[in-house]
Chain A
Amino acid sequence: MKHRGRLLEVLRRAETGPLIEEKDFEGTLITSTVNHLIKEYGIQYDPETLIPRDDDMADRLYQAGLEFAVDVGLFCQDTNRRITWSRQEYEDALRSCPSKAVLGEGNDAVSLSARVPEDPTPVVVSGGAVGVPVPDELFQPLMLSYAQEPVIDLLEPASIQSVYGMPIKAHSPLEILGGWKEAELVKQVLDRAGRPGMCTACVTISATAVGQISPASYGAFRPSDWHHCSVVSEFKTNYELLSKVAHTTRIGGNIESYLNVIYGGYFGGPDGMAIGLTAGPIVLNQNYMGTTMSVSSAHPFLHCGTTSGQIWAQSLAFQALSKNTDLLIASMNKPASGPGTKSILYENSALTIANVVSGLSVVESSMSASGVNEKHASGLDSKICGEVARAAAGMDRERANEIVKKLAGLYEPTLKEKPIGKPFDEVYDVERIRPTPEWQGMYDEVKNELAHMGLVNI
């Protein structure tokens, strides 16, 4: 892609940028910069509003995010140096970022484009069990439960736990075999779903660069797939991660660059998180040259991204970015709840509505039950996001705010109970790949509730 000419300069600056100790980068530089920018740009969280409509504050937040990117940059753990860029360099890079992209192949390819707040343009929706460990025998039934849903455009594989009976261990050859196994299983799922060209995220199990690079080769994952390249929280990279970027650049693949901001961490509360979530895609575009720039937040105690403060921060950040750039912004839904609970449907609906009306281009769904509980994911977890995303496109922020507040009122009191729900094989008939009547009934009830709340056309 035309904006990837910076790769060598990124690598050069990783070797020559300003030296800093890792703990000073996070504990001092990030924290002091954020605190200063909150005051300078008047970024203020309003607990009564989940989807802000203050366009001026969104523009101020964009400036704060850009200034953060200039002042802080990205830390390279291998060299203890900051990869830094001038404001002019960031702005030049933002001018040449991709504002459109095609993911997948043939008739199954999907197009995505940059959006703005309240944009009626439909978003792209990914479905899958991100991070969720799954035993070999359930991997394909689980993945089919997503791929069979027409409202889901991209597939996010779960994490297989073993390969040919051996547990996958980081830094061992089993990581490579596991990546190839994942590609093989996913291809069979797509063929069976009748969507052979559907784009799939890859590779989900890889701790090392070689574990990702090996199956991103001929015969396994394709350049038209969605190659995950993450940043370590907060704003840190290393040569393993940059090697993934280098390889995906070399094969001309789609890069899903990804960054997570921790609630209550070095960025502090919602005000500071909003700055991190705005600076994140700017820094990702500059250093990872992603096709899409994905950012989301994680709560360290509730293990989700759906508290009121997190929704406010994400909504304002996505408005700031979509108003001021053509970045293709994505975000992962992280509900604390799991399959077989109404609360996961409420959580996923709330985040989807908030993100869609704030200008995001890709809804990623979902890290069900925090994405760490074995088998706790199902196709309906993502289907609700697809249906809600279509219904919410073009909605005004005021109306969206009313609906999201009602939803938050339903699920927030339950978050502390960590309602992870039931595993896949208890909420789906795994032979027919159909939800159990109980789980389908719950789904239909919530759709009715959403319609009554004002989400028409769902």
Chain B
Amino acid sequence: MSEIDRLRDAIVEGDEDQAAIAANAALEAGIDPATLIKEAINEPMDKVGKAFQDGDIFLPELIIIGDAARVASDVIVPHISLEDLDASAGGKVVIGTIQGDMHDIGKNIVSAYLTAVGFKIKDLGTDVSPKEFVRAAIDEKADVVAISTLLSTTQPLFANIVKTLEDAGQRDNFFIVVGGGPVTPEWAADIGADGYGRDAGDAADLTKQLLSAGQKPPFDQPLVVGALKQ
């Protein structure tokens, strides 16, 4: 079995200790770190994400596998050149449920899914004020701010995040993506968000597309993933 296969297996089995050992062994064997990230982490994690969407694995397994991938990534990333790092990094996402809403399982699923497919996540939890979102985005040097809610009455606060970033002259530093039960593509456009996704799979596709678009935020119209059939 190759070192890449050994690392891939450790991750897919959700074994953090073995993932760290296998990542170090692969580096010592002289395998290119960028290749390791691509072949031993990113490619299998895309398959893991698909398995979750298809109902072949469930949230607890997704979290465990995502944690193992994060451990391996933490070992490998310091050895990657800055150029290769840009090419292989998933980006950093600050995520939370907006102020006034204590529902979190939808957001947790998105968070676990994004972790599993290679993004760095700062999960702010539930009942997060617009100011806390903005502060975390700046402090964490995030690429994306992801806002969720299950309640229509908390949606107006989404616009406060966009406005606060604009007032602080920071709007062009962060992609803003929105989702959750009552959130619609039209609402995303109304508040000036950059993207809308209906579920965790959409959120991953959306974030990848935004970060690879070669265009700085804000977008004139939000990128919408997860169209509905009328």
Contacts and interface: CB of A to CB of B under 8 A. Distances in A.
A207 B229 contact: no
A133 B102 contact: no
B52 interface: yes
Contacts of B60: 27, 31, 266, 268
Contacts of B100: 170-171, 207-208
A441 B106 CA distance: 37
A232 B105 CA distance: 9
A131 B103 contact: no
A167 B156 contact: yes
Interface residues of A, number: 49
A335 B109 CA distance: 21
Interface string A177-218: 010000000000000000000000000011110010000000
A266 B229 contact: no
A98 B87 CA distance: 62
A238 B102 contact: yes
Interface in B55-96: 55, 58-60, 63
Contacts of B228: 373, 418, 420
A233 B105 CA distance: 6
A148 interface: no
Nearest to A419: B229
A207 B153 CA distance: 7
Contacts of B55: 263-264, 269, 309
Nearest to A269: B58
Given A266-B59, A309-B55, A170 B199 contact: no
Contacts of A169: 153-154, 156-157
A84 interface: no
A265 interface: yes
Interface in A89-137: 131, 133
Interface of A: 26-27, 31, 77, 131, 133, 159, 161, 167-171, 175, 178, 205-208, 211, 232-234, 236, 238, 240, 262-266, 268-269, 272, 300-301, 303, 309, 370-374, 417-422
6 contacts: A131-B181, A133-B182, A169-B154, A301-B53, A373-B228, A420-B230
Interface of B: 52-53, 55, 58-60, 63, 99-106, 108-109, 126, 151-154, 156-157, 181-182, 184, 198-201, 226-230
